[in-house]
Structure 1
Amino acid sequence: MSAGNVHTDMHPDMHPIDDDLVRRLVAGQFPQWAGLAVARLPSGGTVNAMYRLGDDLVVRLPLVEGGADDVARERAWLPRLAPRLPAPVPEVLGAGRAAEGYPWPWSVYRWLAGEHPEAGALSAPALLAEDLAAFVAAMRSITLPGAPPAHRGGPVALLDAATRSAIEELRRIPQEGVDCDAATAVWEDTLRTPGWDGPPVWLHADLMPGNVLVDGGRLTSVIDFGCLGAGDPACDLFPAWNLLTAGAREVFRKALGVDDATWIRGRGRALSQALIALPYYRTTNPAMATNARYVIRTVLDGG
């Protein structure tokens, strides 16, 4: 994800990044781009800052140490995944290194045009559902060996402690209006559901609206592969609840041929992510908090 319209205290260990730092990093390591304009891109991301560099490039820099591993993961795998996917993905054009007081690797990518879709305000939800299903199906069909474990791609039981803790935290924030008993019931239904018993599949593993670009309502590209890897296919069902409308949700499910157990795990994973995100980001990242509320409402309303 990118970052821009967020508070500087979103995470306790964020490294300060500004236009001048980006200019110095670019000039010192990529002199061919030193004269290009630099402008921070506003978004609701949580792990990276992104800066437009001229007309055709974007600089992406981790905000926290945990994002540094994502840089290496994308550099290693994106060139191999790109030709196997139906939508464009980020292309690394420059591999930056720590310098100028900035402690982690960073990258320069080719600019990908498009807008982030807004949950509940899609112009062509059924068509976007088909596009997203085609992307997820293509990811699952990849057979490249050596995939790292996907972030959050293991058994749902690994999310249990954090999910229950988030529910209890939301009980102490009544103004959010979350039906915590209903959320607990959905989560416990998820835990009772059989886990994935097939081989791990390739996953994007973070299909949030902020990692999807559209034009005219249709998918144009998928970005931020920092969580990619292999795991439970339910992990890439997130758009069903964090983006799509009820009718489009069924289009998405039918196109992927999702069985009941995988669908329930996907719903539970999406809910877990939203429950954890809402108390964490509610005062520091409006976009993440708003989408978390959308997911919680969608799931608890029977989605």
Structure 2
Amino acid sequence: MSPSRAAADGRRARADFDTQTRRALDALTGSRHPHRLPRAAASALEALWEEALHAGEDARPAWFHGDVAQGDLLLREGRLSAVIDFGCSGVGDPACDLTVAWTLLTGGSREIFKEAVYEEGSLDPGAWARGRGWALWKSLITLAWADSEADRAAASYVLEEILAD
């Protein structure tokens, strides 16, 4: 894929994710939603979404896993030994793989992870904000429209982690 096509695809995808995120925020601030967000939390989440949208819009496309989740990380003796399930992999913004920072890690471990991924040197400065944006998008749409209370509870937890970060 050419860099110009990848950039155009990225802009289209960002517009789609932006629409979904704003609709979810609107739904979650509506007076009738069972998981209504307090206005201050919704405003803070919207500001973080804006930051994600404008964080390194010219990021260089790279291979990504696309669905890094707890069940896809195999440990041996307390250390990461493998990553499995590459069904969502592709070429695009590798920041999507940073969502694990909010879905699995907390406080201090999140900071250690951030230092490690930036020490490696392949991510641009805006990747962290975009990764948080990916986690925010997925959590908002899940909280707004998922049928499963377990999924909604997990999404609520991730939003709390995002706000605490």
Q: TM-score, length-normalised on structure 2?
A: 0.76
Q: Which amino acid aligns with 1:193?
A: A
1:188 aligns with 50
How has the CA–CA distance of structure 1 residues 182 and 154 changed in structure 2, closer, same or farther, with 3 Å as cutoff? same
The answer (yes or no) to whether the contact 1:170–1:279 under 8 Å persists in 2 is yes
The answer (yes or no) to whether the contact 1:171–1:180 under 8 Å persists in 2 is yes
1:289 aligns with 152
The answer (yes or no) to whether the contact 1:196–1:262 under 8 Å persists in 2 is no
Match of 2:93 among 213, 216, 232: 232
Is 1:201 the counterpart of 2:66 in the alignment? no
Is 1:267 the counterpart of 2:132 in the alignment? yes
Q: CA deviation at 1:189?
A: 1.8
Q: Which of 1 and 2 has higher RCO (CA within 8 Å, sep 6+)?
A: 2
Q: Deviations over 1:189-227 (max 9, x none)?
A: 2222221432x2111111122433445543344333221
Is 1:277 the counterpart of 2:126 in the alignment? no
Question: 1-side partners of 2:78 and 2:156: how far apart?
Answer: 23
Is 1:223 the counterpart of 2:84 in the alignment? yes
Q: TM-score, length-normalised on structure 1?
A: 0.44
Q: Which amino acid aligns with 1:290?
A: A
Q: CA RMSD in A?
A: 2.7
The answer (yes or no) to whether the contact 1:187–1:268 under 8 Å persists in 2 is yes
Q: Deviations over 1:153-180 (max 9, x none)?
A: 9343331001111111111325454522
Matches within 5 A, 1:13-92: none
The answer (yes or no) to whether the contact 2:35–2:143 under 8 Å persists in 1 is no
Question: 1-side partners of 2:73 and 2:142: how far apart?
Answer: 19
Which runs of no fewer than 5 residues in structure 1 stay unpaired? 1-144, 146-152
Match of 1:163 among 3, 15, 21: 21
Q: CA deviation at 1:240?
A: 0.9
Question: 2-side partners of 1:207 and 1:271: how far apart?
Answer: 15
How has the CA–CA distance of structure 1 residues 220 and 266 changed in structure 2, closer, same or farther, with 3 Å as cutoff? same
The answer (yes or no) to whether the contact 1:196–1:232 under 8 Å persists in 2 is no
Q: CA deviation at 1:266?
A: 1.0
Q: Please identify which structure carries the higher helix content.
A: 2
How has the CA–CA distance of structure 1 residues 277 and 217 changed in structure 2, closer, same or farther, with 3 Å as cutoff? farther
Q: How many residues are paired up?
A: 150
Question: 2-side partners of 1:275 and 1:168: how far apart?
Answer: 10
Q: Which amino acid aligns with 2:139?
A: A
How has the CA–CA distance of structure 1 residues 203 and 218 changed in structure 2, closer, same or farther, with 3 Å as cutoff? same
The answer (yes or no) to whether the contact 1:193–1:265 under 8 Å persists in 2 is yes
SS of corresponding position for 1:268: helix
Matches within 5 A, 1:66-215: 154-155=10-11, 156-172=14-30, 173=33, 175-177=35-37, 179-198=41-60, 200-214=61-75
The structure having more radius of gyration, on CA atoms, is 1
